[in-house]
Chain A
Amino acid sequence: MPSVKMTQHLYRFFPQLKDRVITVPAGSVAEILLAINEIAPGFTDYVLDEHGALRRHVNISINDSIVIDKIKLSDRTPDDGTIYIFQSLSGG
């Protein structure tokens, strides 16, 4: 099963995701985010807008490749892949 790693910034809002290995069934990025949302209700509202698209200053990569489809999140994750969720760097 793919594993998920994310910026610790998100642990502030979803402490139940901290200090644990997150694994979810393989599938599209959209399906994986929904699986995380099952563990941490409300999670998708932080990384996706109301249309299900990735928020402008959020990035997701599968292994070391940034996902291409940021609208429908159709990129698929291999069974042994790692999903990284992180925010854009920003100033003061």
Chain B
Amino acid sequence: MSDMILLGTRKGTIIFDRVNAKWLPRPIAHAGVPVCYVARDPRDGTLWASLDHGHWGPKLSRSRDGGKTWNDITSLKYPKGARYIVKYLPTPDFNPESPSANPEYADATVFKIWNITFGNADQPSRLYAGTIPGGLFVSDDGGDSWELNRPLWNHESRGGDLFAGDATSVNLWNGTPASIDYGIFEPGIHSIIVDPRDPNHMHIAVSTAGVIETTDGGKNWHSRNHGMLNDYMPNPESEWCHDPHFVTSCPSQPDHLWQQNHFGIFYSDDGAKNWKKVSRTDLDVNFGFPIAADANDGRTAWVVPARADAERMAIDGGLFVARTTDGGQTWQTFRDGLPQENAYDIVLRHAFDVSGDCLCFGSTSGNAYLSEDRGETWQCLGNNFPPIYSVRFG
């Protein structure tokens, strides 16, 4: 069980320590700075925060003394020549006859560092970062320098080699309103899963493109969206254009993957070769953003449901957590300790985590809740935090 919880919030980083069986928050770090993701590298204890400066650009911040001091790192940049096909937001005044409706290429700028993921124990200096627009950056020196994975950037699904010349095909990666704060509408990489058995085997997830797999360390990438359904599209079973909100796997049974998608909860027990929708709309267990997978049992997962699609907040004013232990065939819902009236919380994709029997989530309403019995009962960690973007056990 972890003794540390890290919150990334609209106004900084908040770290909780477990002291004498109580969870105590430290004074806020990165005060006033939006922090979209914070996590602890289990290999060496380094803390990482993705800062979302409104004025000064996205930065990674690193602490090597357990959060006492932090240092910004500015080396995560797209290389010269990294372009992408612009997607235009289909606003009401969008004119399909206008020049902007034709393919247009833009130089890539890092708008947001959405996720930080740590390599396996046998690659102790390996780190990954997922960005908007959808770049996968890799570091092999503990974060001092970063390199864009070009095969994924130049994938045929997004137009081919955008470094070398004009794109040869259309861009099948759509944009996400999650980046609309920046006045852009670009896809982003929010989930990065490294197979504990083989560091060359990874899954990533892109909102709104889908799940993509490599088995050769990032040289080749393939869509893994078979069985996915996107009710919004003319063809719900299309190869691309899916909207995973978050994808995770069981660390000890990594062929068991879970996905909280815009269009339901999906489960795979064959390494994402096939997905199966396991939502229970009669229980309101369907829509949401985060999903957590048990470390030992691939069939066990938790979600924090919300109302799809127009409301995007707690269902009927009450927060609850749902758990399955049989691969999504049945779900139990737990409300004990969670507010059951006047709750309008939404829990974002990185704001729910599990460590052993402990679960923790935080909402954009600034509320944080903890369970120490696998989600069955909950205690409040606090109600007046800034909007919470991420929750991770340290």
Q: Using CB atoms and an 8 Å cutoff, list the residues of chain A in contact with chain B.
A: 9-10, 13, 42, 45-47, 49-51, 55-58, 87-88, 90
Contact = CB atoms under 8 A, between A and B. Distances in A.
Contacts of A51: 107, 109
Contacts of A58: 55-56
9 contacts: A13-B72, A42-B72, A42-B74, A45-B59, A46-B74, A49-B109, A51-B109, A56-B182, A87-B56
A46 B110 contact: no
A56 B183 contact: yes
A45 B56 CA distance: 8
Given A13-B72, A56-B183, A50 B77 contact: yes
Contacts, number: 37
A55 B55 contact: yes
How big is the B interface, by class?
10 to 19
Interface string B153-168: 0000000000000000
Given A13-B72, A50-B109, A56-B183, A88 B57 contact: no
A contacts with B: majority SS: loop
Nearest to B72: A13
Given A49-B109, A50-B110, A57 B55 contact: yes
A87 B55 CA distance: 6
B16 interface: no
Contacts of A47: 56
- Which 7 residue pairs of A and B lie closest in terms of their CB atoms, listed nearest first? A50-B77, A45-B74, A87-B55, A46-B56, A57-B55, A49-B109, A42-B74
Contacts of A56: 182-183
Contact of B78 (A50, A55, A87): A50
Interface string B45-56: 000000001111
Contacts of B55: 9, 55, 57-58, 87-88, 90
A13 B56 contact: yes
A37 to B, nearest CB: 11
